[in-house]
Amino acid sequence: MATETHDTAHQAASACVDSHGGAVGLPQVCGEWMGNQIFWLVVTLVVIFFVLSRIALPRIAAVLAERQGTITNDLAAAEDLKVKAVEAEDAYNKALADARVEAQNIVNATKAEIKGQIDDAIAKADADISAKAAEGEKKIAEIRAGALESVKVVAKDTAKEIVAAMGGKADAKSVTAAITARMKG
């Protein structure tokens, strides 16, 4: 066999390896490999333990605690803000109600004022109107009186002329007296 030297070399190296470099039986129960595995396992576990317990776990615990704190603070802040918002809403509503009342007052006051002004203006206008009406009546009366006088004069003149035209002699006094009597009638 060409592999004879190889074979013996392997046999010298391990009883768990066959001549082709394959496993003999269960590698898990090969006694001469166990020491190596146990040694490196212990090394690995110790390293992982120190990495975890010294660095990773305290850091994660701190991060989680910090997050919890942040969440709690934020919730508290949110609660505060909520209370403030409610207060602000109340204040707003109160201000709104006040403003309404005030506006109503202003409206009423203004209405009263305007009403007063209107009343004044109406009274004044009434007074003006009645004054103007009285004046107008007076003027009408005057015009009427003037008209009567004119009619009297025209009637006198016309009567004189008519009398003269009819060949009579008009006595101014009697004509006047006659016209005056007629116009009264």
Chain positions contacting other proteins, by CB under 8 A: 9, 12-14, 16-17, 22-23, 25-30, 32-45, 47-49, 51-53, 55-57, 59-64, 66-67, 70
Minimum distance from residue 56 beta carbon to other proteins (Å): 4
Minimum distance from residue 78 beta carbon to other proteins (Å): 16
How far apart, in whole angstroms, are the C-alpha atoms of residue 72 and residue 19? 68
**Cβ proximity to other proteins, 35 vs 185, nearer residue:** 35
**Cβ proximity to other proteins, 58 vs 116, nearer residue:** 58
- Structure tokens given for 111: 């209405």
Q: From residue 109, give the alpha-carbon distance in Å to each of 18, 36, 98, 103.
A: 116, 104, 16, 10
Minimum distance from residue 29 beta carbon to other proteins (Å): 7
Minimum distance from residue 82 beta carbon to other proteins (Å): 22
Q: From residue 57, give the alpha-carbon distance in Å to each of 12, 46, 83, 171.
A: 47, 15, 39, 151
**Cβ proximity to other proteins, 40 vs 92, nearer residue:** 40
